[in-house]
Amino acid sequence: MRRLFVILTAMVGIVLLPKFAWAGEIEVLFEGRVKVLKTELVNGREYVPLVQVAQVTRGKILRDGLQVKEVTFRLVEDQAGVIVGDTTFLLSAPPVKRRGIFWVPIEFLLRALEARYGEGWVYWNKATRVVWLGKEQYNLRMLRHHAYTDYTRIVIGALKPLSFRLDEESKARLSLRIEGGVLSPMLSDTIRINDGLIESVEPAQEQGEAVLRIHRDAFGGLTRAFALSNPDRIVVDLYRAKAGTAGVSPRPQPVDPTERRGSAPRAVPVHLAIRTIAIDAGHGGRDTGALGRKGLKEKEVVLDIALRLRRLIQERLGIRVVMTRTEDVFVPLEERTAIANRAKADFFISVHVNAAPKSRARGFETYFLSEKASDSVARASAIRENLPVDLGGLRPTEQEALKAILWDMANTLYLKESSELAQILLRELDKILKVDNRGVKSAPFFVLMGANMPAVLAEVAFISNAKEERKLKGEAYKDRVAEALYTGVARFKARYERRLGLSPSPLPGRSAEAAER
Amino acid sequence: MVSPGLRRFLGLLLLVLGTGVVGFLLGRAWAPHVPAPVPHIPPVEDGNAVDTTTRPVRLFFAGPSADKLQEEERTIPRTASFVQEAKRAVEELIKGPQNGLNPTIPPGVKLRQLYVDGRGIAYVDFTRNLQTTHPGGSGGELLTIYSIVDTLTANFDEIQRVKILVEGSEILTLAGHIDARHPFKPRYSLERIR
């Protein structure tokens, strides 16, 4: 009796101990065997010893990690980032060491098993605490969607490149058929989108293929589907139906409807002349931008200047101007260049005002995206996101390679033109504004990243400087800034066309532009 | 004076307590020996210091015209790990300059985490107010980014690139201009190209 009581008490004592570890067991079913892994709780999270992970993955324990097939996982004690090959993934909690042996959170076990058996082959049932390995469970793992100004993008995440076809079954219904597609259990229910363009997406597993039926509630717009890789994705863009033949979206226009008032100069072939200029007024909506000490907001000043610049260009050059925004609305950065790309603008100018804390800095500067500033990773993602072109007949890997070449060719040219435009704008600002000329600079500006055209950013004044804030409040100064930018645009246009007029061969820049759709 | 019943009860109680304590100690011995998660703020006094010597660090702050970073030297305690020292360097940067230069990080911002991976990328995780209280402007944003990047790369050979995180997550930009999705390489001058 007494002994029983003692044992019970000891057990209670054990259960109540802080940090005391025993958490449970995980059964791993693999290759016809069952392996039971003991887990322990460390700071509230469930850990398994790396040694046991190595057993079930037939991996090799390294001094600083684990190798499974060709995949090396490098662990650092107390650092949640695990280095896998040349990428890093974050664990929910850092690996810990106990008597020289690593312990890792459960998700590491799943990642390592995936390295051995392939993603999509590892199934973890949290409720029954069984990890099950079998044949490929699924290869379509998620779906997300995003509504842009005039289209909705649906992205389906896949585990490998899959062939697909987009059919219009009726005006209101499209179907995306993915050959050999197997939907993850996460993708079994109808996804309600209801963004005014798409009502829902209804996934269905059919024989030999997965079918996603897209129900539209606004019919008839342009659609396109294309594949991206690394990770593999299938992207479907559904555009809003165009109103009439004007090519203008029915919603408040991001694209200026005053299409080409005048005709392009006769000196150059019409299709090579500069016909469209994209102007981006920085920030907007919930993104206020920098604030002056007296409360002047960057988003208001830059919109005002951008609209003045638009008027000058339209009136004096008679060419089309595309604005990324014409009112106080929030436009995501990636959408700004997308607007310019879709409009096939010839160049892109982003208008900003500057700020620096506790500084008397004043004046203007212009920026472009130098090759040096944008590293290769940024470049790769820019290619993927901005050259969503289907190079018919080519395999995805070949497409990737060709796109990279196209992108690099175009960008070498854009780089030169962007720096020239930045230089010309700076010179004109310098002539008209009697403040500090801070020069042409280069930095990895997000908003310039995806532009399929020469692109620059002008910081026309310091709103953080009391004197400049006062000037920016008045009409005259904003007019002068707009006038300077206009003169720069006109000069750049003239120079560009003069050079084209002399050059008999079309510019490579055009090839990338033509490839954009 | 003490009834046998009570004595028996007391004995039992003692035994129970004793077993609890033994259980506790056993439990601690068995549990993986885990240091608490890396502390956020000054880890210097946490006993990690191997000696009392100090080391100099070069901190990069904004110059008067806001187009250059300028150095200020400061000493910090030397610790067993360069990661701890790197944290301290960032914390000194947050405190702001002492010799007339301008600060680059808004007051009130805290360093949450700093870790370095095997490829020499430092992940520097700040509190949300790095974004929400940033005064904005490309100039200001560049100064903030490169003051952090340069301070870490200039002082720690183990760090070649720096990725800025907010509340543990990747950010697109700090204040709406500069692409922060990828690690930054140092840039010791922000001067004009032309």
What CA–CA distance (Å, rounded) separates B146 from B68?
10
Q: Quick one: pLDDT at residue B14?
A: 53
Amino acid (one-letter) located at B26: L
What CA–CA distance (Å, rounded) separates B84 from B46?
10
* A356 close contact with B: CB closer than 8 A: yes
**Containing domain of residue B128, as a range?**
54-170
Q: Which domains does chain A have, with CATH numbers?
A: 21-133 (no CATH), 140-239 (2.60.40.3500), 270-515 (3.40.630.40)
In Å, how far from its chain's centre is CA A492? Answer: 30
For residue B43, what pLDDT band results from cuts at 50, 70 and 90? very low
Domain co-membership, B16 together with B111: no
**DSSP readout, A86-154?**
TEEEE-SS--EEETTEEEEEHHHHHHHHHHHH-TTSEEEETTTTEEEE-S---SEEEEEEEE-SSEEEE
Q: Which two tokens stand for residue A291?
A: 């604030």
Domain co-membership, B93 together with B149: yes
Judge if ipTM > 0.85.
no
Q: Quick one: pLDDT at residue A267?
A: 40
Domain co-membership, B17 together with B63: no
Look at residue B79 and tell me whether its pLDDT is greater than 80. Answer: yes
Give domain status of residue B176, yes or no.
Answer: no
What CA–CA distance (Å, rounded) separates B185 from B179?
13
Closest by Cβ to B179, choosing from A76, A283, A444: A444
What CA–CA distance (Å, rounded) separates B129 from B135?
11
- For chains A and B, CB pairs below 8 A equal 204
Look at residue B152 and tell me whether its pLDDT is greater than 70. Answer: yes
Domain co-membership, B77 together with B3: no
Q: Among A433-447, A475-489, B55-69, which range has the highest average pLDDT?
A: A475-489
Domain co-membership, B74 together with B151: yes
Integer-rounded Cα radius of gyration of chain B? 24
Tell me how close the Cα of A15 comes to any Cα of chain B, in angstroms. 9
Q: Is A35 exposed, middle or buried (0-12, 13-18, 19+ CB in 10 A)?
A: middle
Between these two residues, A28 and B29, which has the higher pLDDT value? A28
Omega within 30 of 0 (cis) for the link into A231: yes
Domain co-membership, B26 together with B118: no
Closest by Cβ to B12, choosing from A5, A290, A377: A5
Q: Among A170-184, A279-293, A495-509, which range has the highest average pLDDT?
A: A279-293
Residue appearing with tokens 């199934």? A123
β-partners of residue A81 are A90
Phi, then psi, of A297 in degrees rounded to 5: -105, 135
Look at residue B193 and tell me whether its pLDDT is greater than 80. Answer: no
Q: How much is the mean pLDDT over chain A?
A: 79
For residue A413, what pLDDT band results from cuts at 50, 70 and 90? confident
Give domain status of residue B193, yes or no.
Answer: no
- Residues of chain B numbered 52-91 and touching chain A (CB < 8 Å): 62, 64-67
Q: Quick one: pLDDT at residue A220?
A: 67
Q: Quick one: pLDDT at residue A218?
A: 67
* B154 close contact with A: CB closer than 8 A: no
Question: Looking at A57-66, A213-222, A231-240, which range is the least confident one?
Answer: A213-222
Q: Quick one: pLDDT at residue A287?
A: 92
Domain co-membership, B84 together with B153: yes
Q: Quick one: pLDDT at residue A325?
A: 94
What pLDDT digit, counting tens, does each position of A162-181 carry? 888 988 888 888 999 999 88
What CA–CA distance (Å, rounded) separates A319 from B155?
53
Cβ–Cβ < 8 Å for B101, B62? yes
DSSP letter for B30, please.
H
Closest by Cβ to B179, choosing from A2, A86, A446: A446
Are β-strands A45-49 and A33-42 bridged in parallel, bridged antiparallel, or unpaired? antiparallel
Domain co-membership, B81 together with B24: no
Question: Looking at A23-37, A279-293, A424-438, which range is the least confident one?
Answer: A23-37
Look at residue B34 and tell me whether its pLDDT is greater than 50. Answer: no
For residue A255, what pLDDT band results from cuts at 50, 70 and 90? very low
Answer whether B123 sits within 8 Å of A81, measured CB to CB: yes
Between these two residues, A34 and A426, which has the higher pLDDT value? A426
Domain co-membership, B73 together with B12: no
Tally the domains of chain B: 2
Cβ–Cβ < 8 Å for B167, B129? no
Between these two residues, A255 and B67, which has the higher pLDDT value? B67
Which residue intervals of A159-225 are DSSP H helices? Answer: none
Whole-model pTM?
A: 0.54
Give domain status of residue B46, yes or no.
Answer: no
What pLDDT digit, counting tens, does each position of A429-474 carry? 999 998 999 999 888 899 998 788 899 999 999 999 999 999 999 9
* B107 close contact with A: CB closer than 8 A: no
What pLDDT digit, counting tens, does each position of A93-118 carry? 889 988 888 999 988 998 898 888 87
Q: Quick one: pLDDT at residue B19?
A: 53
Of the candidates B149, B122, B138, B121, the residue with the CA atom closest to the CA atom of residue B173: B138
For residue A304, what pLDDT band results from cuts at 50, 70 and 90? very high
What CA–CA distance (Å, rounded) separates A360 from A46?
54
Give domain status of residue B68, yes or no.
Answer: yes
Rounded to an integer, the average pLDDT of A345-351 is 95
Q: Which two tokens stand for residue B193?
A: 């190209």
- Residues of chain B numbered 113-142 and touching chain A (CB < 8 Å): 115-119, 121, 123, 135-140, 142
| 3 state SS for A275-341 | CEEEEEECCECCECCCECCCCCEHHHHHHHHHHHHHHHHHHHHCCEEEECCCCCCCCCHHHHHHHHH
| Sheet of A209-216, strand order | A164-170, A173-179, A209-216, A198-206, A191-192
Q: How many helices (H) does chain B have, and how many strands (E)? A: 4, 6
Domain co-membership, B62 together with B104: yes
Domain co-membership, B95 together with B26: no
Domain co-membership, B78 together with B115: yes
Q: How many residues does chain B have?
A: 194
We report the CATH number of the domain holding residue B84 as 3.30.300
User: Which residues, 6+ apart, have CB-to-CB distance to A460 below 8 Å?
Assistant: A305, A351, A352, A353, A364, A429, A433, A481, A485
Measured CA distances, A18 to A15, A375, B19, B25, B157 (Å):
8, 48, 16, 11, 40
For residue A246, what pLDDT band results from cuts at 50, 70 and 90? very low
β-partners of residue A61 are A66
Which residues of chain A are within 8 Å of residue B173 when distances are taken between CB atoms? 333, 446
Answer whether B117 sits within 8 Å of A83, measured CB to CB: yes
CB atoms within 10 A of CB A189: 9
What pLDDT digit, counting tens, does each position of B98-147 carry? 988 999 999 999 999 999 998 899 999 999 999 999 989 999 999 999 99
Give domain status of residue B179, yes or no.
Answer: no
Q: Quick one: pLDDT at residue A273?
A: 79
* B172 close contact with A: CB closer than 8 A: yes
Rounded to an integer, the average pLDDT of A10-28 is 57
Which residues of chain A are within 8 Å of residue B137 when distances are taken between CB atoms? 289-290, 298, 352-356, 459, 462-464
What CA–CA distance (Å, rounded) separates B137 from A421?
21
Q: Which two tokens stand for residue B188?
A: 């010791």
Residue appearing with tokens 């310019």? A340
Give domain status of residue B21, yes or no.
Answer: yes
Under DSSP, is residue B69 helix (H, G, I), strand (E, B) or coil? strand
Q: Quick one: pLDDT at residue A254?
A: 36
DSSP letter for A230, please.
T
Which residues of chain A are within 8 Å of residue B66 when distances are taken between CB atoms? 356, 359, 361
Cβ–Cβ < 8 Å for A6, B18? no
